[in-house]
């Protein structure tokens, strides 16, 4: 199966005429609270992809936001390992303007409390998937622990930041968008040259509406995007990562896994919302057959 170790956030979203300027108070629309966070989104995507049992290690507070996230994750069939924290459950405060601009403040809260000793036994786990919304020291310990136990590691290096060599050496599949790739290896050179500079055996770059490319031991693989009319690209990258790791854990070849990941990610952009809009395996198969 798959273990996702990562973040969960409640997304507090309000629409307004524009994003507030410093010092400004705005009256906006009604508040919506959605389950989100890169880790939780990826766990839901992996579980809905079928193929592999999905578990998640997550740090949560003792509040209504935790209940919302547990309901969403369990509803998708994710088995939970919860580290309880005295801090608030992670939250993202999001203002979306009528022009589609947004301003987001993230309060990591409990996510910052995920500790090296929280990793559950990896007996039934084939792949560990992580992101960078939990402490880097913890991510590094988990990656190394997986590596020595023969568990493969997929790292989605998001949000963008530079990473220590020691972490990249413990990763089997690295997934980045263009901004994250630049943060890792700079902006000099072609995409292929930059993918090679990460030093990870398989590096995948997601390129939005241009699809994705992968460098696999020197071979370049191109996955075109599925053509859709996006309404909300939230969780496209997370859906891509979750489906990719689930398919790899189910024993699919990389090219087939990339194709299904791109299809699921394209489909999620045609729906509003994050976790709730992540498609099931049946929906993705129907979409690919269109």
The structure tokens 């936001």 sit at: 65
Q: Does the annotation count 172 as an active-site position?
A: no
- By C-alpha distance, which of 271, 199, 278 is closest to 237? 278
Q: Does 240 bind ligand ADP (CB under 6 A)?
A: yes
For ligand ADP, the closer of residues 13 and 66 by Cβ is 13
Question: Residues at the annotated binding site?
Answer: 9-11, 37-41, 133, 177, 206-211, 232, 234, 237-238, 268, 271, 273, 277
For ligand ADP, the closer of residues 65 and 177 by Cβ is 177
Contact indicator for 96, 102 with CB cutoff of 8 Å: yes
Q: Does 237 bind ligand ADP (CB under 6 A)?
A: yes
Name residue 102's beta-bridge partners.
Answer: 96
Question: Residues at the annotated binding site for K(+)?
Answer: 232, 234, 268, 271, 273, 277
CA dihedral of residues 241, 247, 253, 254 (deg, nearest 10) = 0
For ligand ADP, the closer of residues 134 and 223 by Cβ is 223
x/- mask, ligand ADP, residues 194-213, rule CB under 6 A, reads: ------------xxxx-xx-
C-beta neighbour count of 186 within 10 angstroms: 11
Nearest distance in Å: CB 25, ligand ADP: 31
Q: Does 216 bind ligand ADP (CB under 6 A)?
A: no
For ligand ADP, the closer of residues 189 and 230 by Cβ is 230
Q: Does 265 bind ligand ADP (CB under 6 A)?
A: yes
- By C-alpha distance, which of 152, 107, 158, 165 is closest to 133? 158
Give Cβ neighbours of residue 246 (< 8 Å, ≥ 6 apart). 2, 45, 46, 47, 49, 50, 51, 52, 54
Nearest distance in Å: CB 73, ligand ADP: 20
| DSSP structural state of residue 29 | -
Return d(Cα 206, Cα 186) in angstroms, integer: 16
- By C-alpha distance, which of 125, 137, 197 is closest to 164? 137
By rule CB under 6 A, what count of residues binds ligand ADP? 19
Catalytic residue among 113, 172, 238, 247: 238
The residues that are catalytic are: 238
Q: Which residues bind ligand ADP (CB under 6 A)?
A: 177, 206-209, 211-212, 225-226, 228, 230, 233, 236-237, 240, 262, 265-266, 269
């Amino acid at each position: 199966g798959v273990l996702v170790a990562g973040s969960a956030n409640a997304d507090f979203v309000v629409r307004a005429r524009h994003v507030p300027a410093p010092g400004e108070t705005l009256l906006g629309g009604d508040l919506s609270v959605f389950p989100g966070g890169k880790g939780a989104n990826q766990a839901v995507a992996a579980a809905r992809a079928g193929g592999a049992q999905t578990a998640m290690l997550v740090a949560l507070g003792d509040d209504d936001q935790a209940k919302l996230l547990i309901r969403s994750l369990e509803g998708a069939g994710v088995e939970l390992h919860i580290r309880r924290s005295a801090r608030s459950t992670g939250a993202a405060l999001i203002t979306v303007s009528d022009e589609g601009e947004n301003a987001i403040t993230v309060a990591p809260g409990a996510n910052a409390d995920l500790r090296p000793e929280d990793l559950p036994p990896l007996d039934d786990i084939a792949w560990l998937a992580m992101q960078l919304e939990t402490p880097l020291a913890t991510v590094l310990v988990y990656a190394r622990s997986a590596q020595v136990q023969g568990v493969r590691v997929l790292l989605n290096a998001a949000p963008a930041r530079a990473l220590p060599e020691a972490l990249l050496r413990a990763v089997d599949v690295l997934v980045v968008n263009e901004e994250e790739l630049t943060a890792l290896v700079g902006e000099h050179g072609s995409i292929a040259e930059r993918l090679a500079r990460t030093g990870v055996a398989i590096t995948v770059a997601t390129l939005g509406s241009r699809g994705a490319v992968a460098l696999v031991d020197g071979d370049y693989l191109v996955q075109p995007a599925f053509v859709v009319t996006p309404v909300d690209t939230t969780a496209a990258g997370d859906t891509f990562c979750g489906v990719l790791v689930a398919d790899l854990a189910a024993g699919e070849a990389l090219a087939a896994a990339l194709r299904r990941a791109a299809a699921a990610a394209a489909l999620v952009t045609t729906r509003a919302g994050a976790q709730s809009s992540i498609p099931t395996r049946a929906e993705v198969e129907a979409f690919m057959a269109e």
